[in-house]
Chain A
Amino acid sequence: MAKKRVAVVGTGQTMHKSHRPDVNGQELIHEAVKTALADAELTINDIDAIVIGNMDHFEGINYVDCWSVDGSGGWMKPIIKLTTGGTTGSTLAIGGYHMVASGLFEKVLIIGWEKNSESDTTGAITTAFDPIWDRLVFAGAIAGLAAEGMAYMTEFGITDKDAARVSVRDRKHACNNPYAQLRQEVTLEEVLASPMLSDPIHLLDVCPRTDGACAVIMASEDVAQKICPTPAWVWGTANRHTYTYVGDLNLGEIDSMKYAAAELWKKTGITEPRKQIDVIELYQPYSFAGIIWIEAMGIIPRGKGAEYIWSGATDMGGELPINPSGGVIACNPIGATGLIRCAEACTQIMGKGGARQVPDVNLAVSTGFGGCFWTDILLYGKQKPDF
């Protein structure tokens, strides 16, 4: 069967909050699904297949694909569950893209969700680390990120103040996003005065825990423009895994991002990402990543990330706004987080961003990150790709 070009034709999100005791998981999922269907002006009968995912262990429910059909609309439809830790949401987007691009399904509903409030995050995240070699000598996701920040600081001499500037940016941007959980500006001084968790990471450098869901509808080129006049075309996707044990990591340089981004730019003909891309929704769970990972992505030369952040280029109104939504530091329903990046990037292409809209977006990028330092990356365009 011929390969089809694919576009995002509708998105939906819940109003993300720290706790949603008023709804169970299926009901939370349903809120996002209803919103995405309304956005695309479709009904559940139009959907040919569903792909759904969340983090393993967070809700302690194993057969989410089956258990959630009341909320997802998956009753008597093809439905597949994908889960890849922190990258779950971006893996869902890539999986949905594969399903439509294959030509086997015309319209696919993609759902990422999490009720992070329902369990012990650290206990669940620990299961992502090797039981023999890593678990007995590790202190969870924050310590791993801190070790990356430390490696980069040591090499380039940046400080926690440089990283704090990233947190200030994202928390300011979040005030424009009605869906974000944390919508409060902070100052550099407040970030630096917040408690040190694991050197060099302060409390206000890291993401919160969130309950929320996101749904995205992808459609093939045969119907995309009939559904949505300005769909967000998926130009390409890439992902890389580089890690078995923590000691394998090249901390401070994130190889998975470097290789995934290089492959994506090559496949899609991007030669100067900094100039060609209009907006990035970066899966950035802590502030230092906002410096390190844009270098790995090839936006800015290695060692120049902090200077670029301070120039204001990544603020709203700058050369290349990053995280107009406020990003992960403002909102993190983990299994949905990577898909929210996709939805937000596509919202920018569709011009539906409201107060957080970046003007004239032709190319947008979303990424996904997992605590084991793997990377997903997707590129979307306003124009239908000619490849």
Chain B
Amino acid sequence: MEQDLSKVTPLVYESRIGVPYNWWAGKTASRFFETIAHDKKLAATKCDKCGKVFVPPRKTCPECFVDTNSWVSLSGEGTVVTFTVVTRKLAALGKRNPPVIFALIRPDGADTAMLHILDNIAPEKVHTGLAVKPVFSENPKGHITDISHFEPV
């Protein structure tokens, strides 16, 4: 048998793994989505120890490591902390077509920011500190996309 491997063509087995998942949001996050559906407001949790207000709401303050037992209601109006304009059809864009503006938005009254999409604004007009408001989707499904996008106030 030929000892040399130089003439061997390396083969490839093309395959795919498809695994269905059910990600449970938990009751704390579920209240956020219920509040959008019923009141068109953002439900945030507040740490009674340090006073920080969290959006997305969390059950435990990561810094104090105590449960957050208080809830506050926010309009969702807030400011752009930072952003990027995706100008190429990156694989991660999925069904969206560039340009797509991703932004971290700090809702007024919150100490954290939330990741979302900015729309109804020309990409070159976006800047840090821009005042924005949420636009809620017509048919809430219990997903973060129940906020369709944010747009200038």
Interface residues of A (CB under 8 A from B): 21-22, 60, 120-123, 125-126, 131-134, 136-143, 146-151, 154, 195-201, 244-249, 251-252
Distance in angstroms from B32 CB to nearest chain A CB is 9
What are 11 A-B contacts defined by CB distance under 8 Å? A22-B10, A132-B29, A132-B144, A137-B116, A138-B92, A149-B84, A151-B81, A154-B128, A197-B87, A245-B112, A248-B112
In the complex, B53 has a CB within 8 A of chain A: no
B82 and A151 within 8 A (CB):
yes
B112 closest partner in A (C-beta): A247
Q: Which 8 residue pairs spanning A and B have beta carbons closest together?
A: A140-B92, A146-B84, A151-B82, A247-B113, A21-B10, A122-B91, A246-B115, A131-B23
A131 and B10 within 8 A (CB):
no
User: In the assembly, what is the distance between CA of A245 and CA of B85, in Å?
Assistant: 20
B86 and A139 within 8 A (CB):
yes
In the complex, B25 has a CB within 8 A of chain A: yes
B105 closest partner in A (C-beta): A247
A245 and B56 within 8 A (CB):
yes
A137 and B102 within 8 A (CB):
yes
B114 and A247 within 8 A (CB):
yes
A151 and B90 within 8 A (CB):
no
> Which among A134, A143, A195, A252 is the interface contact of B84 at CB below 8 angstroms?
A143
Complex contacts, B128 vs chain A, CB 8 Å: 150-151, 154
Which chain B residues (103-153) contact chain A, with CB distance < 8 Å? 103-104, 112-117, 123, 127-128, 143-145
User: In the assembly, what is the distance between CA of A315 and CA of B147, in Å?
Assistant: 47
Max chain A Cβ within 10 angstroms of own Cβ: one of B23, B82, B104: B82
User: In the assembly, what is the distance between CA of A146 and CA of B85, in Å?
Assistant: 8
Number of A-B contacts (CB under 8 A): 122
Complex contacts, B65 vs chain A, CB 8 Å: none
Complex contacts, B86 vs chain A, CB 8 Å: 139, 142-143, 146, 197-199
In the complex, B12 has a CB within 8 A of chain A: yes
In the complex, B58 has a CB within 8 A of chain A: yes
A198 and B81 within 8 A (CB):
no
Contact status of A131 and B21, CB under 8 A, knowing A136-B144, A252-B82: yes
Give per-residue flags for B75-95: 1 if the beta carbon is below 8 A from chain A beta carbons, else 0.
000000111111110111100
Complex contacts, B100 vs chain A, CB 8 Å: 139
Complex contacts, B20 vs chain A, CB 8 Å: none
User: In the assembly, what is the distance between CA of A369 and CA of B130, in Å?
Assistant: 30
User: In the assembly, what is the distance between CA of A102 and CA of B93, in Å?
Assistant: 46
B contact residues, total (Cβ < 8 Å) = 40
B102 closest partner in A (C-beta): A143
Give per-residue flags for B3-25: 1 if the beta carbon is below 8 A from chain A beta carbons, else 0.
00100001010000100010101
B114 and A143 within 8 A (CB):
no
In the complex, B42 has a CB within 8 A of chain A: no
Distance in angstroms from A160 CB to nearest chain B CB is 12
In the complex, B55 has a CB within 8 A of chain A: yes
Max chain B Cβ within 10 angstroms of own Cβ: one of A121, A122, A137: A137
User: In the assembly, what is the distance between CA of A327 and CA of B55, in Å?
Assistant: 37
Give per-residue flags for B42-53: 1 if the beta carbon is below 8 A from chain A beta carbons, else 0.
000000000000
Distance in angstroms from A61 CB to nearest chain B CB is 10
Complex contacts, A199 vs chain B, CB 8 Å: 84-87, 123
A251 and B104 within 8 A (CB):
yes
> Which among A137, A142, A148, A246 is the interface contact of B145 at CB below 8 angstroms?
A137
User: In the assembly, what is the distance between CA of A139 and CA of B88, in Å?
Assistant: 11
Max chain B Cβ within 10 angstroms of own Cβ: one of A121, A134, A148, A200: A134
Distance in angstroms from A83 CB to nearest chain B CB is 17
- Beyond the given A139-B86, A147-B102, please list 19 additional residue pairs across the A-B interface where CB-CB is below 8 A: A120-B91, A122-B90, A122-B92, A132-B23, A136-B143, A136-B145, A139-B92, A139-B102, A143-B90, A147-B83, A150-B128, A199-B86, A199-B87, A199-B123, A201-B84, A245-B114, A245-B115, A247-B56, A248-B113
Complex contacts, A21 vs chain B, CB 8 Å: 10, 12
Complex contacts, A121 vs chain B, CB 8 Å: 91
User: In the assembly, what is the distance between CA of A121 and CA of B86, in Å?
Assistant: 18
B92 closest partner in A (C-beta): A140
User: In the assembly, what is the distance between CA of A134 and CA of B116, in Å?
Assistant: 8
B83 and A244 within 8 A (CB):
no
Complex contacts, A245 vs chain B, CB 8 Å: 56, 112, 114-115
Distance in angstroms from B5 CB to nearest chain A CB is 8
